[in-house]
Amino acid sequence: MVRNLKFISDLLWKPDIVVFNNVRGYDPIPPSQAILLYDGVVYYIPPLYFVTPCDLELTKWPEGFQKCEIRFGAWTLDSSEILLGVLDNQTKADLKHYTNGNLQWKITDTTVTTNSYFNCCSPYYQDVIVTIQLQRKSSVAEKTAIMSSVGIWICVLLSYWMKPQSTDRITIGYLGFFGMAFILIYFLWKLPTGKNIPVVVITHATLLLLCGSNCAITMINRRIVRQSCKSVPRWIHFLTKNSVLGFLLPNRTSLPDDELHQVCFEVDHNNSNTPSSFSPISLNLVGQPVPHQVWKQRNSTTQRWLQIASILDRLAFIISMLISFPLIGYTGLVSIMNN
């Protein structure tokens, strides 16, 4: 007894079923064999390959959930000629034989619905919509980039507590700026096209600007330190005496010798025993003493300029923390909620 018969699909009448949202256009169904059962039921399952767009929600990128739809329907046939539906009235896609070849994406849920449209016309048209819920996991490279940016920013933030004239501080600031820029470019290169900006991109763009402000503050403070041979303006003197800003000043009353020798020093021209062209170091080398009154005055002036530089550093440190820590915390919270 013959229970089924296989024959080429060209001998069958086939409806003009297409994928409406196929980005490659309306590809015809490829030829394939059909199976005719003894009771008249025909199984025709052709191999199909199509690409459909997804309305990406990128707020939580590189992780998060995405929803994609595949719309099947007849191109010219209405409901009086063909009645679309799902086998056994199933509401879920059959994933028994599905194998996930991409570790970054995971199918979490599927729904299948039959819809009618063009209700203005009789008979109406139908389509079948398959909705796929996908979950994206960040790759090892993306996680490494995020952790690296956090480490870079901590180093840049702590550099505010280094001396403005320190070459190590300049090195940390510029390396942090270029490192953060490289990570941001990497994320923009990996970022797909979507309707919103990811939180991780906003965070890294903000950290890049803060790294740039660190370099700018360092240059300004180095300029301030070089002004230490000049008298302090009254408004700056008022700032250093202000009780509100007093907590930002370092707890020290005098400058160490190595710091004092790095700044400008003017010698009293009225003192004939002290050559006006000599620095404090050269004066010590030739055995000429520095007048105590002049040294004390320059020490106080230099100390005042360094206090201004310290105030700028502490203010920049506090503002940077208030801006960066909430952003980093929110980005980490978004990542945890998606796991």
Answer whether 179's CB lies under 8 Å from 204's CB: no
pLDDT of residue 257: 46
Which pLDDT value is given to residue 270? 47
The model's pLDDT over 102-123, given as tens digits with 9 standing for 90+, comes to 778 888 888 988 877 766 667 7
* Rounded Cα gap, residues 206 and 212, in angstroms: 10
Digit-coded pLDDT (tens) for 7-36: 887 888 888 888 888 887 776 677 788 888
Residue 276 has pLDDT above 80, yes or no: no
Please report the pLDDT score of residue 151 as a whole number.
93
Would residue 88 be called left, alpha or beta, if left means φ above 0 and alpha means ψ between -120 and 50 degrees?
left
Query: What pLDDT is stored for residue 323 in this prediction?
Result: 92
In the predicted structure, residue 254 carries a pLDDT above the cut 50: no
* Confidence at residue 55, expressed as pLDDT on a 0 to 100 scale: 81
4-137 belongs to which homologous superfamily?
Answer: Neurotransmitter-gated ion-channel ligand-binding domain (2.70.170.10)
- The answer to whether the predicted template modeling score (pTM) of the entire model surpasses 0.85 is no
pLDDT at 148 over 80: yes
Mean pLDDT of the chain: 76
Q: Give percent of the chain above pLDDT 70.
A: 73
Residue 194: exposed, middle, or buried by beta-carbon count in 10 A (0-12, 13-18, 19+)?
Answer: middle
How is the chain split into domains, by residue range?
4-137, 141-337
* Terminal alpha carbon distance of the chain: 56
- Ramachandran sector of residue 40 (left: φ over 0; alpha: ψ -120 to 50; beta: rest): left
pLDDT surpasses 70 at 236: no
Q: In the predicted model, is pLDDT for residue 291 greater than 90? A: no
Helix, strand, coil shares of the chain as percentages rounded to 5? 45, 15, 40
Predicted pLDDT of residue 294: 43
Selected residue with higher pLDDT from 185 and 137: 185
Which residue type sits at 223?
Answer: R
Angle at 317 between CA 263 and CA 219, to 5 degrees: 40
Mean pLDDT of 206-229: 85
